[in-house]
């Protein structure tokens, strides 16, 4: 049905909200407006977000596979992370994988239907030298496979960003994680401004920005709105916004945090979709705790990408096969190339 037709039959109050939301892509959202959206009656929020999603996007889901190229031993103290040297989790450090090994993993992901390959380094920042040169080779190797390449490796300099752009990097992932106000409760070894500066360097180098956050850190709804305010006031908006829900890992500072309700994830995704209509909203960590139905509601409210593959960085994720089954049930295409997608689906 044409959404404009639905608008015609809306009660007056809802039409007003709608006009406000619908007018254009905005970069001036404020916290109060965002909180109002985040706290809307759920049914209205789901409906509003779906209309925005259908207006601005095709209904497909991007599949991004993730690989931890360098695991553990990170000097930052992010209290949710098993890879930090401050964490008592039993995660085994692993030296950086070789270029060939990484590209072999990218090929497997491609054969499974992924069209983006994201590579993670447990680093505070990128340092020049052999490891960085290998990263550049990995990026161009992934691009040669016809996939999008994303890297997440901490802070970087202008020059490093330019070299990554020259190697063909599609996107750099650097999350703000939470609100500027709550940030100090989660990480103290770097500042919010450090994160913003890195994101700016990525943007200036012409690389797409992948920047999101985590819910379940103990933050309030106000903090969630505040994080979304920072993201939606970036102009242009980040091309990709991962919404993670905390995977409470034993030995990390947040191991005892209470699990968040799936409805909160749905609200966060729906609100992100309304604020940033064209951005890829990635339903990220924590999917194993979501029922099939909750994930479907996330897709309906505008999530249009998932991390696809049995593993995230150090924790597990739904299997390739179960995700393909889910997407088949939902009936959305999951690859840019619809024919390839249909072939993969029919071979299930
Ligand atoms: N070291 C780099 C950095 O922090 O930018 C890259 C890797 S880091 C693991 C990537 C992102 O994963 C973090 O910014 C955080 O948002 C998310 N993440 C890490 N551990 C998580 C957890 N236990 N639960 C949910 N999200 C997590
Ligand atoms: C993002 O926002 N989430 C991904 C990716 N970017 C790098 C990482 C999730 C990590 C979950 C915990 C783990 O596996 O260690
Ligand atoms: Fe290091 Fe990234 Fe983990 Fe923070 S989230 S401790 S920067 S690997």
User: pLDDT tens-digit profile of 247-269?
Assistant: 999 999 999 999 999 999 999 99
Per-residue pLDDT at 332:
78
Query: Which residue has better confidence, 280 or 93?
Result: 280
The whole-number average pLDDT for the span 231-240 is 98
CA-nearest of 318, 77, 336, 300 to 184 is: 77
State the CATH number of the domain containing residue 60: 3.20.20.70
Q: How far apart are CA 129 and CA 96, in angstroms?
A: 13
| Structure tokens belonging to residue 265 | 């994830």
The answer to the question of residue 274 being in a domain is yes
The total of other beta-carbon atoms located within 10 Å of residue 65's CB is 26
User: Residue 58 above 90 pLDDT?
Assistant: no
The answer to the question of residue 39 being in a domain is no
Enumerate residues 6+ apart whose C-beta is below 8 A from 137.
Answer: 99, 167
> Is the minimum distance from the CB of 122 to ligand 3 under 6 angstroms?
yes
Per-residue pLDDT at 7:
42
Across 13-32, b (16+ Cβ under 10 Å) vs e yields ebeebbeebbeeebeebebe
The answer to the question of residue 34 being in a domain is no
The answer to the question of residue 146 being in a domain is yes
Mean pLDDT in the chain? 91
Whose CA is closest to atom 25 on ligand 1? 246
Ligand 2 center from residue 288 Cα (angstroms) = 13
CA-nearest of 281, 234, 282, 268 to 34 is: 268
Number of folded domains in the chain?
1
The β-bridge partners of 150 are 118, 171
> Is the minimum distance from the CB of 79 to ligand 1 under 6 angstroms?
no
The answer to the question of residue 25 being in a domain is no
The answer to the question of residue 32 being in a domain is no
pTM of the model: 0.93
3-state secondary structure 161-228: HHHHHHCCCCEEECCCECCCCCHHHCCCCCCHHHHHHHHHHHHHCCCEEECCEEECCCCCHHHHHHHH
**In angstroms, how far is CA 46 from the centroid of its own chain?**
20
The answer to the question of residue 11 being in a domain is no
Atom of ligand 2 nearest to the CA of 81: 15
Q: H helices within the chain, ranges in order?
A: 3-8, 12-22, 31-38, 42-56, 99-112, 130-144, 158-166, 192-204, 221-232, 262-275, 292-300, 320-330, 338-346
> Is the minimum distance from the CB of 302 to ligand 1 under 6 angstroms?
no
- The tens digit of pLDDT for each residue in 8-36 reads 445 555 555 566 666 679 999 999 999 99
The answer to the question of residue 19 being in a domain is no
* C-beta separation of 117 from 150 below 8 A: yes
- The tens digit of pLDDT for each residue in 166-224 reads 999 999 999 999 999 999 999 999 999 999 999 999 999 999 999 999 999 999 999 99
* C-beta separation of 288 from 316 below 8 A: yes
Per-residue pLDDT at 271:
98
Ligand 1 center from residue 99 Cα (angstroms) = 22
The β-bridge partners of 244 are 214
Domain of residue 139 covers 51-347
* C-beta separation of 27 from 234 below 8 A: yes
Across 98-117, b (16+ Cβ under 10 Å) vs e yields ebeebbebbeebbebbbbbb
């Amino acid at each position: 049905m044409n959404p404009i037709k639905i608008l015609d039959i809306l009660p007056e109050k809802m039409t007003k909200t709608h006009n406000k939301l619908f007018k254009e892509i905005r970069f001036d959202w404020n916290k109060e407006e965002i909180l109002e959206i985040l706290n809307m009656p759920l049914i209205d929020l789901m409906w509003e977000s779906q209309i925005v999603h259908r207006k601005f996007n095709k209904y497909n889901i991007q599949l991004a596979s993730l690989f931890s190229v360098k695991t553990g031993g990170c000097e930052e103290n992010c209290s949710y992370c098993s890879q930090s040297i401050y964490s008592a989790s039993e995660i085994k450090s692993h030296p950086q994988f070789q270029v060939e090994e990484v590209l072999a993993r990218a090929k497997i992901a491609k054969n499974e239907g992924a069209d983006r390959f994201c590579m993670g380094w447990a680093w505070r920042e990128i340092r020049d030298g052999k490891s960085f040169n290998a990263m550049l080779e990995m990026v161009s190797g992934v691009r040669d496979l016809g996939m999008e390449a994303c890297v997440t490796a901490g802070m970087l300099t202008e020059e490093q960003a330019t070299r990554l752009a020259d190697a063909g990097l599609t996107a750099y992932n650097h999350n703000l994680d939470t609100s500027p106000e709550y940030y100090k409760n989660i990480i103290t070894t770097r500042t919010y401004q450090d994160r913003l500066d890195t994101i700016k360097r990525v943007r200036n180098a012409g690389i797409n920005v992948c920047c999101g956050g985590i819910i379940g850190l103990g933050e309030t709804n106000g903090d969630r709105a505040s994080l979304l305010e920072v993201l939606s006031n970036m102009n242009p908006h980040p091309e990709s916004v991962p919404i993670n829900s905390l995977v409470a890992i034993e030995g990390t500072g947040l191991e005892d945090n209470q699990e968040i309700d799936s409805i909160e994830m749905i609200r966060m995704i729906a609100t992100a979709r309304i604020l940033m209509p064209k951005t890829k909203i990635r339903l990220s960590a924590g999917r194993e705790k979501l029922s099939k139905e909750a994930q479907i509601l996330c897709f309906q409210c505008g999530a249009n990408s998932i991390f696809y593959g049995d593993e995230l960085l150090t924790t597990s994720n739904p299997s390739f096969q179960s995700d393909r089954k889910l997407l088949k049930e939902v009936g959305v295409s999951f690859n840019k190339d619809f024919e390839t997608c249909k072939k993969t689906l029919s071979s299930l």
